[in-house]
Amino acid sequence: MHLLYHFSPGVLTVVLAVLAAVTSLQIVNEKLRDWRVQALAILVFCLIAAGEIAIIQNADSINESHFQTLVSRFDNTDRLVSANTLAQQRVASLPVATTAKSHAVGLPGLKERAIRLSADILAFLTQRQVDEPPIPRNRATYDSDMQAFDRYSEHTMSIYSQMFARQVISIHAELARKGISDEQFDTFYERPTNPTGVRIVAEHLGALAERLPD
């Protein structure tokens, strides 16, 4: 069946039309009068027609998947750009006096650490998105394109785990002790599963940080 998916819609329709024309001529010439031969011819026609239907359905499925992937990519890009811009604004608005004081006594305060971690994660995702594999180009390369994208996403998650996961879990615990949390952050902070989940973690981390006193 998978071999059929390499054909474009309409190819088997042409084959079916040609065979029907040839078969009709043969019947007229009394070469296909035997009912068994005619039954075999009908079976072949039905199989070809079923193959054409399968090809059309597969093409529709790929087109729909391609469209959904395209919409999802654009939506994620828009959200990432907005979140990254807001995160950088939060970093820029950190009081200089507070930063200097926190450095004098050691680690920055929880609010500053949460804001900076949120911004760092979103900047990381933005940088990774620059080199993201393209969306599937056509039916012939759809599977390989999606596999390349999945591998890239897995690599992104591996880097995230090494660079940020421990800090996120630690800050989540600190926020929880202060009674500051939200449902989405609690759901994704430990295992975001994919870059979209990471973006959600970073977005909500920054929003939660704003609820902390200066």
The encoded tokens of residue 52 equal: 């054409």
On whether both 71 and 51 belong to a single domain, the answer is no
Q: What angle do CA 55, 59, 64 make, to 5 degrees?
A: 150
Helices (H), the chain: 11-28, 35-92, 96-105, 110-130, 142-160, 166-177, 183-188, 195-209
Task: Check whether residue 201 and residue 136 sit in a common domain.
Answer: yes
Range with the largest mean pLDDT of 18-32, 91-105, 141-155: 141-155
> Same domain for 204 and 135?
yes
Ramachandran assignment for 37, one of left (phi > 0), alpha (psi -120 to 50 degrees), beta (any other): alpha
Q: What is the DSSP letter of 190?
A: S
**Cβ(91)–Cβ(63) below 8 Å:** no
Write out pLDDT tens, residues 151-179. Answer: 999 999 999 999 999 999 999 999 999 99
pLDDT in tens, 43-80: 766 776 666 666 666 666 666 666 566 667 777 888 89
* Segment 15-26 mean pLDDT: 53
pLDDT of 115 over the 70 cut:
yes
pTM: 0.66
Q: Are residues 109 and 39 in the same domain?
A: no
Q: Is the model's pLDDT at 186 over the cut of 90?
A: yes
Range of the domain at 34: 2-59
Let me know whether 140 and 71 are in one domain. Answer: yes
- Spell 152-185 as b/e; 16+ CB within 10 A means b: bbeebbeebeeebbebbeebbeebeeeebeeeeb
73-89 average pLDDT score: 87
Q: What is the pLDDT of residues 119-133, one digit of tens each?
A: 999 999 999 998 888
In this predicted structure, the answer to whether residue 101 has a pLDDT above a threshold of 80 is: no
How many domains, in total, are found in the chain?
A: 2
